[in-house]
Every structure is written in C-alpha cells, then in structure tokens.
C-alpha cells in the first residue's frame, strides 16, 4: 500500500477540500466519520458484509461499530497518524454500497 501516491497523510486543507465532495462524512476526533441508520439489523449487517468486499479489495480497514440497525464508521490511517487518500477512497466506496440500502 505504501507505494501508492494516495498513501500519505493529508494536510488540513486537503481534508477540507475532499470533505466538500463527500457530503455524508464529517471530521470527528481526527477521523472521517459517518453514521448510518438502516431499516433493520439485517440490513445493517448486510451493508457491513457487502462493504467488506470493498474493504478487502482496498486492504484498508475501518473502525466500525454496529448496534441493532445502526452502523458507526470512522476512517483514519493509523500508521500515518492521520487521514490519507485511502480514507477518502474507502469513504466513497462505502457511500456507493450504502446507496443500495433504504435508510431509516
């Protein structure tokens, strides 16, 4: 992963610029953050299973938490100590997966 040009820590200005393109995400605690509320627990788990395919392809793993029909996602590149291009790539892919579900 470290050979990729996206594998670098983004500056505050770069993060702000990229966040303007991802309306469903915000910066919280130094991480990209999104909360999703699905129609049911089954939908929340199905989202996580579908998302895992994209996560595996990118080999960049989120911090996420599921309680019943809700999924909380935080993205950060731990070994860089901040947000990288990989976090924004994954956020976009997770948004695409989420579009196939009805949200509450």
Which two tokens mark 2?
Answer: 């470290």
20 Cβ contact partners less than 8 Å away, ≥ 6 residues apart: none
Q: What is the pLDDT at residue 61?
A: 95
Residue 1 in this model has a pLDDT that exceeds 60: no
Alpha carbons 104 and 100: distance in angstroms, whole number: 13
The model's confidence at residue 32, banded by pLDDT at 50, 70 and 90, is very high
The pLDDT score that the predictor gives to residue 7 is: 84
Give the pLDDT of residue 3.
52
CATH ID of 12-98, from 3.30.1360.20, 3.40.190.10, 3.40.250.10, 2.60.98.20:
3.30.1360.20
Q: How confident is the model at residue 19 (pLDDT cuts 50, 70, 90)?
A: very high
Q: What is the pTM of this model?
A: 0.93
Tell me how far apart the alpha carbons of residues 72 and 61 are, in angstroms, rounded to a whole number.
14
pLDDT for the residue numbered 26 = 97
User: Please, what is the angle between helix 85-98 and helix 41-58, to 10°?
Assistant: 140
- Is a pLDDT exceeding 80 seen at residue 2? no
Mean pLDDT of all residues in 40-52? 98
């Amino acid at each position: 992963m470290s050979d990729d040009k996206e594998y670098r820590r983004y500056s505050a200005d770069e993060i702000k610029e990229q966040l303007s393109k991802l309306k469903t995400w915000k910066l919280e605690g130094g991480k990209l953050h999104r909360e999703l509320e699905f129609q049911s627990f089954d939908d929340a788990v199905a989202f996580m299973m579908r998302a895992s395919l994209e996560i595996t392809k990118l080999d960049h793993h989120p911090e996420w938490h599921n309680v019943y029909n809700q999924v909380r996602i935080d993205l950060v590149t731990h070994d860089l100590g901040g947000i990288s291009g990989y976090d924004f790539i994954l956020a976009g892919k997770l948004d695409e997966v989420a579009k196939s579900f009805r949200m509450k």
